[in-house]
Structure 1
Amino acid sequence: MDETAKFRTQADDLIRLVAVLDPINVVAHGEDGIISHWSAGSAELFGWSPDEVVGLHVMELLQPGSSLDIAAIIADIRTGGAWKSTLEYRHKDGHAITVLSRWVLSEVDGQPVVIQLNEDFRSAASIQESLSAREAHFRSILQTVPEAMVVIDEVGVITSFSSTAEDLFGYEADEVEGENVRILMPSPDRESHDRYIVNYLTSGQRRIIGLGRVVKGLRKDGTTFPMELAVGEAISNGRRIFTGFIRDLTSRHKIEEELRQAQKMEAIGQLTGGLAHDFNNLLTVISGNLEMLEMKLDDPRALTLLHEAQGATDDGAKLTGQLLAFGRRQPLNPRLIDLGQLVSSFSELIRRTIGDSVDLRTTIRGGGNEALVDGPQLQNALLNLALNARDSMPSGGLLTIEVNRVHLDFDYAQMYPQLRAGDYVLVAVTDTGTGMTEEVKNRAFEPFFTTKTAGSGTGLGLSMVYGFVRQSGGHIQIYSEIGQGTSVRLFLPAASGGTAALPNDPGRRAAELPGGHETILVVEDDARVRRVAVARLESFGYSVCQAANGEEALRVLERNPGIALLFTDISMPGLSGDQLAKIVRDIRPDIKILFTSGYAEPEVAGKQLAADGRWLKKPYTARDLALELRSLLD
């Protein structure tokens, strides 16, 4: 091929290349700066059409902000292969355009031709800013969405982990990002998860994606919890990503369990009440016939047998009376009674009944402790509770009976089925005994359920107390920890002088309460109580961190240096509230501490509060909490 044909071929190649690049911002010019090609992309970027600029000098037309030596640039290109710089060119209407300009060199007919590729820098920066804004927006969503959010790739590796997920699972984000999501799952889901993903990617068969289900999660400390999992799918850069939204169902499950327990107790009460009523009719017939037989018998041996039968009939009548009490069918004779005076006058009998090994302490707080109740039945209930407490303290201990007027607000009342907000007189019977397991607490009010040995009791004591309180329009709770003791609390509707047993109306709230903007750490092992405490504090304006136990609280404290106050339950499994407070005192002596307890007095649980520690007794009202917080923080 001769040189002329070679150059012609090069020129044709260049023309074809420039034609292909026409939509892009391409400018071609010679060593003298005279423009030979002006692409459609350049026309759109700078405002001049090709007919207007071909033959003009590129520097005179675009007027870069800094003087450019085209010959020097061509020399650099021949040395380095290319040249690039950020330039400020002029638009046709006069405004400046910042471009990232890349120059390469070609030859046509033996003459050097410079090809400029100009990228609108503002557009690239705008795209980058948009991406940064989108990422910031995503991060904001990730940190504020109320449900925990976990993002994984198509092989199950965690790529994002929200702050709510950190609180829920107990891991920091940097601990799990890069790990397989199996780390958050108990068996058998842990072993099967990768197979689920592979099966979905190959067959499209869905188990959770787009469907949602209730599964179990695994925390860092090894505990499991129920959760609702919804998984969405998206494709990014040709790869699938899966976003899981997780809702903790622990609190909801507990409330549902409370409701099921209440419904079960209602059903058992109806059954036992009906049976007791029918059985009483039978006992009446038996007792009547025995009385008539007694008048006709003279044989001493026969009379002895008859008296034994009459004694058994009397025992049967007492038993049916207890069943009727549980079934809320016992006859009550309610009268307006000051429960403080009743307990004070009755305490001496309780003291003699429980013996010398148990120290009895009676506390009557304030006045206004009148309630409409059957006095003898309440005394019978207190005696049953005192005997149970004595039996839980075989080596002796402390028994406290406390009476005071309390107000249960809407937030507290909504945690328990059948409980209405209003004013109550609380009678709390608290011991320092062995405590109850969760299983025992859940069944404690069932008739004939007992943890005592055979022949030591009928198992009707607590069920009778339950029936009496419910029939009186009140509410009964058990607060207990293994090795810490038990507190049985009777809430009896207060008489006049307040708002007694109002319907659950969220509009009936206290007047404006003092709040603040400090950060408070709430530590409570009961998820329902923790939820209410957090909601109250947030309504006061505080920033709130929360933890389910002492160990988790220390991790939260480490992550949040701005915490001003620790609000903790005293008795918790593992690291107790007072132990947690001592550690916090050592590492953060500036933090204020507010305790809460279901016991009558903190020392009943064998706890010595940390220095400057103040405490609220459960149940506490929103007003009690608000005022105590400001008292500490101010």
Structure 2
Amino acid sequence: MPHRFISPRTTSPEELGAIVRIMGGANNIIVQGFDGVITEWSAGCENMYGWMRDEAVGKAVDDLLATQFPESIEEIHRQLRENNSWQGEITHRHKDGYEVYVASRCMVVNLSDGEAVIVQTNNDISDLKLAQSEVNAREAHLRSILATVPEAMIVINERGIVISFSTAAEKLFGIQADDICGRNISNLMPNPDRDAHDGYLSRYIRTGERRIIGYGRVVTGQRADGSKFPMELHVGETTANGERIFTGFVRDLTSRYKIEEDLRQAQKMEAVGQLTGGIAHDFNNLLTVISGNLEMIEAKLPEGPLSLLLREAQDAAGDGAKLTEQLLAFGRRQPLNPTLADLGQLVSGFSDLLRRTLGENIDLKTVIVGSNHNVLVDSSQLQNALLNIALNARDAMPRGGSLTTEIKRVYLDADYAKMYPQVRTGDFVLISVTDTGVGMSDEVKEHAFEPFFTTKDVGSGTGLGLSMVYGFVKQSGGHLQLYSEVGRGTTIRIYLPWVQAAAAKIEVPDTRSDSRDVLPGGAETVLVVEDDARVRRVAVARLSSMGYKVIEVGNAQAALEILAEDPTIALLFTDIVMPGGMTGDELAKEARVMRSDLKILFTSGYAEPGLGGREFATPGSWLRKPYTAKDLAVRVRELLD
């Protein structure tokens, strides 16, 4: 604001000094020349700054008080010469060193001897500045809170008219503040709440009966586009200018409901996975008994019709073993052989097989974005998973269509992890498989990964395809997502952790062969620990036929007692999952304490010990049920030799 011109006053030095002495007790007056040297210093200034008159007079005021101006001293002097006055806020320093905030007013006074001086009156506004600073800090804090909290804020008057609508509320409801302010809050509600809202509000004002105000509750909101969403509403009440106003804080519950539903689904899948894994484990024990006895019978029979029947039964047992592999895959307990692989090269090489499998009426496309798509994965299991997805896509496109596989590097951030609690943040390689088929309904999507669930005709599928994919991806440390709409197709996204380098795992060659082969044997003592008596008898019979001295027990505690008594035991052959309070891996640890040179061979209907976190098991020191006699014979000799 420009300073208005004030006519300069004229007085004598004596009169000016008398005025300062008379009024200076209640006022803070400094008289200085244009050179800044102090000629008069009132008693008020002594109290305000701590400097006595004798200490101040003759000193340069700006040096004494370390003045901080809002503009240059030259500009202030120019205004004084042109307008004979200047006012503004400045900062001075007290004699004790602290700052004093001052509202200053300067006027030019012409003395009778022809000299012009500046009369400055100062008011200490430090307390006011402090109060303003606190108010500004609180306002800034409040603005920061309102800008960062996820809740939307809406203020209405006692007639239900919106008078304030925050930025978060604009985003949540999809409407600008200018478009809703001045209108009734019921426009943000679906019926029946929309029609009943004004009645709720007037009844509260009339009776004081609270239903929402002062309480938090879950209600339904309606966006500008008509879509509805669940929201948590908290309403507070106050009075401003004699009128009641109500402030509502709204939290969108859509993401929370989705997370809760995903968590329930994950818990259900985990429970079903444990159940199917347990069934597969018990089934593998049965297959071990069946195939083992068939194998021993076959070895003693001459070639003939009965041999053919036995081999057919063995083939059926083999099919049962493949079925349990799928169940173990869903239960995340299948044996994996993860090696370093570039998914771009792996899927590209697999495309020709998929093209032949899908037929000519399916347009197969593979898109690879970027390079260096390294992951640690069991390549054969991944190809099997992709084949299952592709076969499902083919069945969903009976008249043909398009199947597109895209591979690229992605980063899953904290926001994504909040939506999917089981997901960790980091770099992943994404395999996205999209078809143009009939799609899935919400009900089908909800059960798509459950074992034995299928939409195909009876006898057309086992319902284990997608469940196996789900279990394999989870066991590989990845994440699986399903997107589908009826009539628009389906997309399955597989996220696998990206790695820079890793050591390839040693592969154990397949040792399966005909039961009539000559099997390697020995004369060492083997301790067999197996809780299932039928499985134990098969193992004992096989080892005995190979020449070993066999000792059998049904639990880990009995095994420890025998190990303490018999130093001739060369190998411990133990099941991993056993009742009685001690598992096979715990037995192995105790046995190694007693006998550091003892060889240990594990067996299980689940996966290898290392995949369950049992790192003490070395490669080649385990057998997955069901196993053949040669599997057992070769593995025992590898350990003992």
> What TM-score do the two structures reach when normalised by structure 2?
0.50
* Residues 493 and 151 (structure 1), Cα distance of their counterparts in 2 relative to 1, 3 Å cut: closer
What is residue 224 of structure 2 aligned with on the other side?
A: 220
Alignment counterpart, residue 270 of structure 1, candidates 269, 274, 299? 274
Name the CA distance, whole Å, in 2 between partners of 1:280 and 1:296.
24
CA contact (8 A) 2:409 2:428 kept: yes
What is residue 395 of structure 1 aligned with on the other side?
A: 399
* Offset of residue 375 of structure 1: 1.6
1:381 is the counterpart of 2:385: yes
* Residues 239 and 306 (structure 1), Cα distance of their counterparts in 2 relative to 1, 3 Å cut: farther
Count of residue correspondences: 364
What is residue 466 of structure 1 aligned with on the other side?
A: 470
Residues 129-148 of structure 1: pairs in structure 2 closer than 5 A:
147-148=151-152
1:184 is the counterpart of 2:151: no
Alignment counterpart, residue 246 of structure 2, candidates 217, 242, 245? 242
Alignment counterpart, residue 209 of structure 2, candidates 184, 205, 221? 205
Name the CA distance, whole Å, in 2 between partners of 1:308 and 1:210.
75
* Offset of residue 184 of structure 1: 2.1
* Residues 267 and 365 (structure 1), Cα distance of their counterparts in 2 relative to 1, 3 Å cut: same
* Offset of residue 142 of structure 1: 12
Residues 364-379 of structure 1: pairs in structure 2 closer than 5 A:
364-379=368-383
1:330 is the counterpart of 2:334: yes
Query: Which residue identity does 1:490 align to in structure 2?
Result: I
Query: Which residue identity does 1:158 align to in structure 2?
Result: V
CA contact (8 A) 2:340 2:501 kept: no
Alignment counterpart, residue 500 of structure 2, candidates 496, 502, 515? 496
* Residues 208 and 337 (structure 1), Cα distance of their counterparts in 2 relative to 1, 3 Å cut: same
Q: Deviations over 1:126-156 (max 9, x none)?
A: xxxxxxx9xx99x989995853222233343
What is residue 353 of structure 1 aligned with on the other side?
A: 357
Alignment counterpart, residue 230 of structure 1, candidates 231, 234, 258? 234
* Residues 349 and 196 (structure 1), Cα distance of their counterparts in 2 relative to 1, 3 Å cut: same
What is residue 477 of structure 1 aligned with on the other side?
A: 481
* Residues 167 and 306 (structure 1), Cα distance of their counterparts in 2 relative to 1, 3 Å cut: same
Q: Could you say what secondary structure the match of 1:321 adopts?
A: helix
Q: Deviations over 1:489-538 (max 9, x none)?
A: 2222233259xxxxxxxxxxxxxxxxxxxxxxxxxxxxxxxxxxxxxxxx
Name the CA distance, whole Å, in 1 between partners of 2:410 and 2:158.
56
* Offset of residue 457 of structure 1: 1.9
The more displaced of 213-222 and 418-427 is 418-427
* Offset of residue 283 of structure 1: 3.5
Query: Which residue identity does 1:186 align to in structure 2?
Result: P
Name the CA distance, whole Å, in 1 between partners of 2:423 and 2:213.
39
CA contact (8 A) 1:153 1:240 kept: yes
Query: Which residue identity does 1:258 align to in structure 2?
Result: D
Q: Deviations over 1:253-278 (max 9, x none)?
A: 32333333333322222222112212
Residues 581-620 of structure 1: pairs in structure 2 closer than 5 A:
none
Residues 84-99 of structure 1: pairs in structure 2 closer than 5 A:
none
Query: Which residue identity does 1:265 align to in structure 2?
Result: M
* Offset of residue 314 of structure 1: 4.4
Name the CA distance, whole Å, in 2 between partners of 1:460 and 1:379.
15
CA contact (8 A) 2:362 2:394 kept: yes
What is residue 168 of structure 2 aligned with on the other side?
A: 164
Name the CA distance, whole Å, in 1 between partners of 2:459 and 2:478.
31
Name the CA distance, whole Å, in 2 between partners of 1:224 and 1:309.
59
CA contact (8 A) 1:339 1:370 kept: yes
* Offset of residue 383 of structure 1: 0.6
The more displaced of 408-417 and 303-312 is 303-312
CA contact (8 A) 2:478 2:497 kept: yes
What is residue 417 of structure 1 aligned with on the other side?
A: 421
Query: Which residue identity does 2:253 align to in structure 1?
Result: L
* Offset of residue 388 of structure 1: 1.3
Q: Indicate the structure whose relative CO is greater, using CA pairs within 8 Å and at least 6 residues apart.
A: 2
Name the CA distance, whole Å, in 1 between partners of 2:144 and 2:409.
45
Same amino acid, percent of matched pairs: 66
* Residues 216 and 320 (structure 1), Cα distance of their counterparts in 2 relative to 1, 3 Å cut: same
CA contact (8 A) 1:142 1:161 kept: no
Name the CA distance, whole Å, in 2 between partners of 1:362 and 1:441.
25
Name the CA distance, whole Å, in 2 between partners of 1:265 and 1:344.
32
Q: Could you say what secondary structure the match of 2:236 adopts?
A: strand
CA root-mean-square deviation: 3.9
What is residue 447 of structure 1 aligned with on the other side?
A: 451
Name the CA distance, whole Å, in 2 between partners of 1:411 and 1:172.
26
Residues 298-337 of structure 1: pairs in structure 2 closer than 5 A:
313-337=317-341
Name the CA distance, whole Å, in 2 between partners of 1:341 and 1:373.
13
CA contact (8 A) 1:142 1:163 kept: no
- For structure 1, the 5+ residue unaligned runs are 1-94, 96-132, 499-634
Q: Could you say what secondary structure the match of 2:263 adopts?
A: helix
* Residues 310 and 226 (structure 1), Cα distance of their counterparts in 2 relative to 1, 3 Å cut: same
What is residue 279 of structure 1 aligned with on the other side?
A: 283
> What TM-score do the two structures reach when normalised by structure 1?
0.50
- For structure 2, the 5+ residue unaligned runs are 1-104, 106-135, 503-641
Name the CA distance, whole Å, in 2 between partners of 1:150 and 1:411.
26
* Offset of residue 188 of structure 1: 4.3
Name the CA distance, whole Å, in 1 between partners of 2:147 and 2:497.
41
Q: Could you say what secondary structure the match of 1:496 adopts?
A: coil
* Residues 301 and 183 (structure 1), Cα distance of their counterparts in 2 relative to 1, 3 Å cut: farther
* Offset of residue 418 of structure 1: 2.6
Query: Which residue identity does 1:386 align to in structure 2?
Result: A
